[in-house]
Amino acid sequence: MAGTELEYVKQAFESNYIAPVGPQLNQFEQLFKEITGFEHCVAVVNGTSAIHLTLRALGVGPGDTVLGSTLTFVGSVAAVKYQNADLVFLDSDLETWNMDPNLLEQEIKSLASQGKKPAAVIPTELYGQPCDLDRIVEICKPFEIPVVCDSAESLGASYKGRSVGRSARAATFSFNGNKILTTSGGGMIASDDLELVKQCQYFATQARQPVLHYDHHEVGYNYRMSNILAAIGIGQLEVLSERVDRRRAISTLYGELLQPIDEIKMMPEAHYGQSNKWLTVITIDQHSSVRPTDVISALQEENIESRPVWNPLHTHKAFADCRCVGGEVAESLFESGVCLPSGSSMTDDDVHRVAQVINTVFRK
């Protein structure tokens, strides 16, 4: 926590706005708009629900096809299945680790030749790295395919000098406990499309009709963020830039300390933007005698948690019926990658401790 969150929670308690909506929720959404530059937003219970609501509002349903990244967390695409639509995974490129725009273009043209077009495209901004959104939107625009940018991990990052997700039809964010800022659990839908955001808010509040009594013409969801969690979010947003600066400093220090190890490479940073370095990720050369599991195990012995890179979703049993375009890049990154401790509260001594363990593994 940044230190001011409790004061905003106290304000919510004193005003007795414990119910889902209230002044702090409105303030949180307003502050988010000011920081990111989006014209409209609605706060919801998590990033997964943010994507779900957006797809529902876009009319995605049975018989539709949605294209998504394979190298990501399941929450990025689970909502496609909620809507009973067909899911096609796209591989990453090595330069950014995000959705490969060339493969996207090939797949859209291939579907168009069959008289089909995707109902939506969901590129994930991996580990805080902005995707090449303008290129993706440019590819989709002639076919009138909406782009829903999964920016769950990239809040505070920038793309061509502006907030991530700005040129997409909508961008979705996560405030889960492990993100660069947190409301304990929470998410946000941000867009310049007022009607789309209104529709998302409508579905997020059980699709209730605007009348005195309870009346529902459609089935909606209980997805609205609570006023109490929004109060936490206000305090968190106040230190977003500091969090990004610290994460980037941690990543830079890791790079300096691990630079002597030839077999290790840092996750690249895209030339068109600035990552928030939500996680610092390394890859280990496939010809090295040290494997990622060796590093993870050695760190665990010192009570230091690390994890593999996301296991590509096209390899999961839950998505056995989904086609994948490419996949080799994502699979190679999973086999060679390690996500290192990257919390904003880490000290330089903490980073040195992690790096020392890794250096010891490679000296054996």
Q: What is the pTM of this model?
A: 0.95
pLDDT value at residue 364: 77
Burial of 108 (0-12, 13-18, 19+ CB in 10 A): buried
Q: Assess contact for 84 and 207: CB atoms under 8 A.
A: no
Distances, alpha carbon 248 to alpha carbons 58, 265, 269, in Å: 35, 16, 11
pLDDT above 70 coverage of the chain, percent: 100
pLDDT value at residue 339: 98
List, for residues 35-62, the tens digit of each pLDDT value: 999 999 999 999 999 999 999 999 999 9
Query: Which amino acid, 200?
Result: C
Please give the backbone phi and psi of residue 263, each rounded to the nearest 5 degrees, phi first.
-75, -10
Closest CA to 188 of 206, 164, 170: 170
pLDDT value at residue 1: 87
pLDDT value at residue 197: 98
* Confidence bin at 3 (pLDDT 50/70/90): confident
Q: Which residue is listed with tokens 């990720």?
A: 281
Can you read off the two tokens belonging to residue 78? 């689970």
pLDDT value at residue 18: 84
- What the chain holds in terms of domains, given with CATH numbers, is 5-237 (3.40.640.10), 240-363 (3.90.1150.10)
Long-range contacts of 11-17 (CB under 8 A, 24+ apart): 11/231, 12/227, 12/228, 12/231, 17/227
pLDDT value at residue 156: 97
Average pLDDT value over all residues in the chain: 96
pLDDT value at residue 19: 75
Q: Which residue is listed with tokens 């529709």?
A: 199
pLDDT value at residue 94: 96
Residue 20 has pLDDT above 80, yes or no: no
What DSSP element (H or E) covers 5?
helix 5-15
What's the rounded Cα separation, in Å, for the pair 109 and 129? 26
List, for residues 48-99, the tens digit of each pLDDT value: 999 999 999 999 999 999 999 999 999 999 999 999 999 999 999 999 999 9
